[in-house]
Homo-oligomer: A and B are copies of this chain.
Amino acid sequence: MPPVFAHRIEVRFRDCDSFRHVNNAVYLTYFEQARIVMGETLGWRRVLDEAGVSLILAHTSCDYKAQLVFGDEVEIRASVVGIGRRSFTSQFDAHRVRDDALAARGRSVQAVFDYATGKTAPIPDGLREKLDAMLTTAPAGA
């Protein structure tokens, strides 16, 4: 079982819409928060800075499975589910803390980008090692 990065977020009143539940777009904000905190905590950003490249977001998706409401806390559990030559795919499971229900599952594809050339670039070795260590080899379930 590979390590998984977890980050807890308090649902804000402002995250909810007229249906009194967390708005669909806000899940991407939760995933983004987990993604950036993870990148800083696990040293991804340092490795990217050293290689002189950046990550750009190419794709996101989200399956909505259960509601989150004001008063809930959500735990985002992140893992890596695919690694290519110039991009990789992360998965973000949003668990409702009070009952551990899976509220939503998101995925994001990030590509390595070199602003000097204006083109995508190969994943730096240092980052590849870190991604490999987080890669979920078991079937991801969805």
Contacts of A120 in B (CB 8 A): none
Partner of A18, one of B10, B20, B61, B64: B20
Residue of B nearest to A58 (CB): B64
Prevailing SS type, chain A contact patch: mixed
Q: Which of B9, B14, B32 contacts A32 (CB 8 A)?
A: B14
A28 and chain B: residue at smallest CB distance:
B25
A20-43: CB near B (< 8 Å → 1, else 0) gives: 100111101100110010001000
A101 at the A/B interface (Cβ < 8 Å)? Answer: no
Are A70 and B29 touching (Cβ within 8 A)?
no
Interface residues of A (CB under 8 A from B): 9-10, 12-14, 16-18, 20, 23-26, 28-29, 32-33, 36, 40, 56-64, 70-71
| 25 pairs, CB–CB < 8 Å, chain A vs chain B | A9-B10, A10-B10, A10-B33, A13-B17, A13-B18, A13-B29, A13-B33, A13-B36, A14-B32, A17-B18, A18-B70, A23-B32, A24-B28, A24-B57, A24-B60, A25-B25, A25-B29, A28-B28, A40-B71, A57-B64, A58-B63, A59-B62, A60-B61, A60-B64, A61-B61
